[in-house]
Amino acid sequence: MKNKPRIRFKGFAEDWEQRKLGDIATFSKGNGYSKSDLASSGDPIILYGRLYTNYETTISNVDTFVELKDKSIISQGGEVIVPASGETAEDISRASVVKNQGIIIGGDLNVIKANHLLDPTFLALTISNGEQQKELSKRAQGKSVVHLHNSDLQEVNLTFPLLNEQKEISTLFEKMDNIITLHQRKLEKLKLVKKALLQKLFPKNGSQFPEIRFKGFTDTWEQRKLTYIFNDFIVPMRDKPKVFSGTTPWTRIEDIEGRYINTSLSGRFVSDETIKSMNLKVIPKGSLIVSASATFGVVAIVNNDLITNQTFIGLVPNKDFDIDFLYSLFEAPTTKNKLLKLSAGSTIFYIARESFENLVLSVPSKVEQIKISKIFKSIDNSITLHQRKLDKLQDVKKGLLQKMFV
């Protein structure tokens, strides 16, 4: 079998070469620093935890600092770093390039300096995604904490093309990472805007007025029990159907996408006969479901009649209330804090139906409700759009990583 990837840039046809990494690179270790050494300013440093919490193929911007110690390992630019320990073999079978010089390399990091045959970014990519990733996972040793040594890295069989093809591959993935990062930042910015508006467009700390309002609205928000806002409170049965064949969807918390429920995700549907025989509770379209236990405080709008488990309680609103406003009301921190105070339990929260019924929330007129709901629907639509773009980009990148390496 020839050493060629499934997808290549035009003009490249040669077989890829295979060599032991130890023959074409030198190895060292970072040292001397841990999280306790971090300071608000000083010399920039990369600690091994960054490769888990904020993984990037190429590290250009460093926002963690320490006071420089003697005998520190400082980058010259182009080093490839690999964690020396982690919780699983897959965790530590990843690599990043330290792009710039003058960066301190902290302890528990293996440091690889490639020779003239290898592009550093290509090396980091293939260690993290090619056959080398599988080989390193097998070499990682340990039980509760697994370890990977430079001696393990030296024995890796690296398959690689000529340098100019490596650089083409590296440039492609660096551009993709830049685009993905841009979408991630836009998504995070939208989420921060929504978070701020959820705090400011709903009253808090016992007030009957929100911090900011739309022009023309000055009336006091009214205090209302949920029994006034909702006509019915539906507590699902604990029993789960044994047979799934019918037309009414069975919904789990994993099926929530944004503000709505994707009833096709679980692929489970219940027949009318099963609903009748088990006396299952159907939550009608146009209701809210709010998680009352386990993953606490999740809320979604019911866009099809459905059945769910006891994680949720179904809330059927009366006609004087806008369902999209009620969704945002339950997302607001002031409501979530009230629910949290009502919950029982230490590690797993639970709110009884009676507690929901007696909960008091502040609500405005329906006209103002609709004004508020429109702005949050617009933001949520933008968040969903950016999330889909981001997911698609990440899927494209994942597919290329699988097909552009041997």
**Ramachandran angles phi, psi of 317, nearest 5°:** -80, 155
Specify the higher pLDDT residue, 43 or 34: 43
Domain boundary among the residues 160, 183, 204 is at 160
Tell me: pLDDT of 112 over 60.
yes
- Average pLDDT of the residues in 284-313: 86
- 263, 167: one domain: no
What is the dihedral sign for C-alpha 379, 384, 388, 393? positive
CA separation for the pair 366, 326 (Å, rounded): 11
Nearest-angstrom CA–CA distance, 247 and 344: 35
Q: What are the angstrom distances between the C-alpha of 146 and each of 57, 155, 157, 245? A: 22, 18, 21, 45
Instruction: From 118, 143, 160, give the residue that closes a domain.
Output: 160
Give the pLDDT band of residue 52 (cuts 50, 70, 90).
Answer: confident
**200 and 232, same domain (yes or no):** no
Mean pLDDT score, 23-29: 96
Region 145-167: what's the mean pLDDT?
A: 92
**What sign for the dihedral angle of Cα 64, 69, 75, 79?**
negative
Q: Are strands 79-83 and 96-98 parallel, antiparallel or unpaired?
A: antiparallel
Q: How many C-beta atoms lie closer than 10 Å to residue 194's C-beta?
A: 18
- Same domain for 191 and 116: no
Same domain, 203 and 228: no
Same domain, 185 and 275: no
The CATH number for 43's domain is 3.90.220.20
Are 5 and 16 within 8 A, CB to CB? Answer: yes
Do 257 and 349 share a structural domain?
yes
The answer to whether 166 and 118 have CB atoms below 8 angstroms apart is yes
Taking the C-alpha atoms of residue 303 and residue 261, their distance in angstroms, rounded to an integer, is: 7
Q: Find the CATH number of the domain harbouring 372.
A: 1.10.287.1120
Higher pLDDT, 90 or 329: 329
What average pLDDT does this structure show over 69-97?
88
Q: Which pair of structure tokens corresponds to residue 25?
A: 């690179």
**The domain containing residue 406 runs over which residues?**
1-13+163-213+364-406
Asked whether the predicted pLDDT for residue 246 surpasses 70, the reply is yes
- Asked whether 125 and 97 are in contact (CB, 8 A), the reply is no
CA–CA distances in Å: residue 379 to residues 202, 211, 275, 311, 322: 16, 19, 37, 27, 17
First to last CA, the chain: 11
Examine the pLDDT at 132 and tell me if it is beyond 50: yes
DSSP 255: G
Same domain, 304 and 271: yes
| Other CB atoms within 10 Å distance of the CB of residue 174 | 16
DSSP string, 37-85: G-BSSSEEEE-TTHHHHS--SEE-----EE---TT--EEES-EEEEESE
Q: Which pLDDT does position 365 carry in this prediction?
A: 96
- Tokens at 111, concatenated: 């440091």
Residues whose CB falls within 8 Å of the CB of residue 88, separated by 6 or more in sequence, listed in order = 146
List pLDDT tens digits, range 195-231.
999 999 999 888 899 999 999 999 999 999 999 999 9
Q: Write down the pLDDT at residue 1.
A: 46
Are 192 and 57 within one domain? no
Locate 153 and state its tokens.
């890295």
Q: How far is residue 42's CA from residue 28's CA, in Å, rounded to a whole number?
A: 24
With tokens 């023309």, the residue in question is 216
The two beta strands, 96-98 and 58-59, are parallel
How many of the other CB atoms lie within 10 Å of CB of 200?
Answer: 13
Q: Are residues 238 and 356 in the same domain?
A: yes
- Could you give the number of structural domains in the chain? 3
Average pLDDT over residues 265-279: 89
CB atoms within 10 A of CB 365: 13
Average pLDDT estimate for 69-92: 88
pLDDT of residue 356: 84
- Of the listed ranges 206-215, 225-234, 299-308, 341-350, the least confidently predicted one is 341-350
Clarify whether residues 397 and 318 are in a common domain. no
- End of a domain among 121, 142, 160? 160
314 lies in the same domain as 330? yes
Are 229 and 358 part of one and the same domain?
yes
In whole angstroms, give the CA distance from residue 269 to residue 131.
41
Dig out the tokens for 123 from the structure: 């090396």
d(CA 83, CA 148): 7
- What confidence score (pLDDT) does residue 338 get? 87
- The pTM score is 0.83
